[in-house]
Structure 1
């Protein structure tokens, strides 16, 4: 029986010291519950809050929470970076597809799931709305579910359904969903996007994400036909292609005719689009990101980014040197699935430089402490604004030559010299 509480503080009264909590993430972050949690935690000890990317989570970063609540991050967003890199929060490097299994196999206990849902429908079912990701699995195993019921949460289809009676404590709070407006595209983004689009063929099934480079690539796909989408997440850049009939999902094998995703993050127009849209399946991320599922779609194409790539093709995507920046996410899941797909391919796209053009992102060796997210054996294409390096089947010498050719011209000679000094004759 669900207990309807008057306030968020009332809903959290059942928490006790030592509890391990999961928090619904992305645009579904129940940030009103988190504000109450920051207050409640001060009266408790050793709470652990597991999370992916959280929105409006500033309240969890207060120094006063040390010893009371510790964040355990499977994704490190901007609000958590300082905490993780200063040792006040923990980062767990893991493929996104593996997180639900941590819960279901009881490797990682979940005492309490904090979620945000739509109001129950006439059948008594709420919806996880714009973000299913690992929250579906957390709800399946949590001893207690505490929900913010928000009339602004879209009702989505797939694995998003959660019966109201499965919720132990609920509080009704009307709060705006966090928005991420479409990126402003500059010349570098557009040049990268054009190169990526040239690698996409009619009938491909795409995985892409959020940000300027994915938006730029999508911008140049408007003349393509019969594209499909099977992706861990999508943003507003998909919408014009659906409206133009470019994305049809007709060539897919997995949920043919439907766009498959784990969550969305973008504008209110995007949230309105997914509301009660039966053409979109919000699916458990263990299923969405499973390479064995991804490979079933012919011509699966993964489009991801990186922070740094060495000249052998090793990809660092979660840290800047030893400083953690984001996470593994689904990059390896989709790179693997795309390579196993009939006619599939993987693409890593990134600007050639960082720090205002003073640092090359293509390097002879990754920075000290940098972690390898995607191995050099898994990369098909690397794209910068200066072109495409196709690495599949290439030797180390051939890889270095191809990657130097798409580095910024200012860094090509230094990279050649560094290779020579390291004994690699190009």
Structure 2
């Protein structure tokens, strides 16, 4: 296998198995690992590390590390290490059920942070010193350059900052990924920052490969394993209705002259609703679309194949097994149309604002005035994290948040008097969409926003109670700019915790 993917003679001498490489990671280390939404994460070293930790813990020896990544990874990394209580601190995003449980039990520290902030914070030293980087790559050139894998995320930053680097060369990743990446080395901390010279989603401003001084690379581990991502469900009726409302809105915006006929670059969060919107675009009237996003899902590959989507820029894939096979089988086609970048570029506020991105993200709940909670259940229990939604919501040309109007088989209203946790304030939220309808909040004062959200987005089972709350708050005399009844504002959440229904 080595001759196919590891062409640098000097680095061939550092090939070892995963157990030997894991032994080079000391307990208590800060470890930067590759991986973004289940793509491009190391497969072997984390599992070998988990086995070592389990053995140490069985003998009463502490063995934990802090893990920094691009975003979520997969069971072979987050799950394996969380299962053996091997993670002291995790950042900046996770979606693993074992991690989530331990974070909410207080057994794992977690820093939930805007993805665009991670690299600058790391360079400034806010997280401490990065000891080791463990990075999956698709290959190593004869000159020692690193061919990125199915995600870039924070890999450039981890390689630059870490004292030592361990590489996993994954023969299971398509060799045709070579040439799909655009690694920009022009970022800097203030006061040395310069404009990022990116003016279009398909433009390339960086380099083809990641660079790492050979003396920093202490191990090379060969693997042959696919990324682990779940199959996406077929869009349900609620998702299709949400997509329909949004596509009708885009058509009105084009007719009003506020969007061009091919819209503006699209950003789409991860999940079935996002894929339903992309499926709707495939059947819609818009041609020559572009995407500037974090993650490429199945729906965007379909849009590229159909010709509806001309080009897509991201930092990672998040594909079902079927879509992963399609990517590998048609890699030459996709390589001409897809650019993968470091997440400090894919999520950079300057670039998002310049390109006029249309940001479309999911949420847990929204309140009457347009504040959005996208991270916490009932105010205290983390679900996954804010990810890049804040980067795009605050800086995009349009900021859209979507969810079904109810959850837990109708026990929960996702439109509430006051959100139990705020991730995106009313100032960053322009459009709220549920299967009930779409509320365009642009240019509206708070009380008009409330009326529009109740009328267009709330489920009929909850709409009268929301209107009653709003009218009583407005009549209370406690302030008419943003009326609230403080004794009742979170009572819906409290009632759910006590009775199981809002």
TM over 0.5: yes
Equivalents in 1 of 2:44, 2:81: separation in Å? Answer: 12
What TM-score, normalized to structure 2? 0.76
Residue 301 (1) aligns with residue 358 (2)? yes
Query: 1:19 matched to which residue of 2?
Result: 29
Correspondence for 1:354 among 387, 407, 426: 407
SS in 2 for 1:114: strand
Query: 1:40 matched to which residue of 2?
Result: 52
Return the offset for 1:122. 4.9
Structure 1 or 2: more helix by fraction: 2
Q: Once structures 1 and 2 are overlaid, which stretch shifts more, 379-388 or 201-210?
A: 201-210
The 5 Å alignment of 1:379-390 reads: 379-390=429-440
For structure 2, which runs of at least 5 residues remain unmatched after alignment?
Answer: 1-9, 184-207, 255-260, 484-502
Return the offset for 1:245. 1.7
Equivalents in 2 of 1:185, 1:244: separation in Å? Answer: 19
CA contact (8 A) 1:95 1:333 kept: yes
Equivalents in 2 of 1:264, 1:209: separation in Å? Answer: 12
Residue 185 (1) aligns with residue 235 (2)? yes
Return the offset for 1:31. 2.7
SS in 2 for 1:409: coil
Q: In the superposition, relative to structure 1, how do residues 182 and 121 fare at CA in structure 2: closer, same or farther (>3 Å)?
A: farther
CA contact (8 A) 1:113 1:142 kept: yes
Q: Once structures 1 and 2 are overlaid, which stretch shifts more, 406-415 or 107-116?
A: 107-116
Q: Deviations over 1:206-249 (max 9, x none)?
A: 00122111111111112311211100111110122112221124
Equivalents in 2 of 1:220, 1:16: separation in Å? Answer: 49
Residue 145 (1) aligns with residue 165 (2)? yes
Q: Deviations over 1:1-39 (max 9, x none)?
A: 535333101112222232111121232121321111112
Residue 59 (1) aligns with residue 80 (2)? yes
Query: 1:93 matched to which residue of 2?
Result: 112
Query: 2:16 matched to which residue of 1?
Result: 6
Query: 1:158 matched to which residue of 2?
Result: 182
CA contact (8 A) 1:5 1:11 kept: no
Equivalents in 1 of 2:450, 2:386: separation in Å? Answer: 24
Q: Deviations over 1:45-97 (max 9, x none)?
A: 442222331201332123x53xx542413113133110100111122121110
The 5 Å alignment of 1:272-421 reads: 272=328, 273=330, 277-298=335-356, 300-320=357-377, 321-338=379-396, 344-367=397-420, 370=421, 372-405=422-455, 406-421=457-472
SS in 1 for 2:66: strand
Equivalents in 2 of 1:270, 1:141: separation in Å? Answer: 35
Equivalents in 2 of 1:264, 1:381: separation in Å? Answer: 26
Residue 261 (1) aligns with residue 314 (2)? yes
Q: In the superposition, relative to structure 1, how do residues 185 and 114 fare at CA in structure 2: closer, same or farther (>3 Å)?
A: same
From the CA coordinates, give the structure whose radius of gyration is larger.
Answer: 2
Q: In the superposition, relative to structure 1, how do residues 193 and 274 fare at CA in structure 2: closer, same or farther (>3 Å)?
A: farther
Runs of 4+ in 1 over 6 A off after TM superposition: none
Residue 129 (1) aligns with residue 185 (2)? no
CA contact (8 A) 2:116 2:343 kept: yes
Q: In the superposition, relative to structure 1, how do residues 7 and 184 fare at CA in structure 2: closer, same or farther (>3 Å)?
A: same
For structure 1, which runs of at least 5 residues remain unmatched after alignment?
Answer: 250-258, 339-343
Return the offset for 1:199. 2.8
Q: Deviations over 1:97-121 (max 9, x none)?
A: 0111122223222111111111224
Equivalents in 2 of 1:182, 1:382: separation in Å? Answer: 23
Q: Deviations over 1:128-176 (max 9, x none)?
A: 2111112221111111111111111232321272357363311112112
Query: 2:139 matched to which residue of 1?
Result: 119
Q: In the superposition, relative to structure 1, how do residues 71 and 38 fare at CA in structure 2: closer, same or farther (>3 Å)?
A: farther
User: Could you say what the CA RMSD is over the residues aligned between the two structures, in angstroms?
Assistant: 2.1
Q: In the superposition, relative to structure 1, how do residues 274 and 106 fare at CA in structure 2: closer, same or farther (>3 Å)?
A: farther
Return the offset for 1:330. 1.0
Q: In the superposition, relative to structure 1, how do residues 352 and 205 fare at CA in structure 2: closer, same or farther (>3 Å)?
A: same
CA contact (8 A) 1:149 1:170 kept: yes
Residue 248 (1) aligns with residue 248 (2)? no
Query: 1:341 matched to which residue of 2?
Result: none
Name the count of aligned residue pairs. Answer: 405
SS in 2 for 1:199: helix
Equivalents in 2 of 1:360, 1:113: separation in Å? Answer: 43
CA contact (8 A) 2:362 2:402 kept: yes
Correspondence for 1:50 among 64, 68, 84: 68
SS in 1 for 2:428: coil
SS in 2 for 1:221: helix
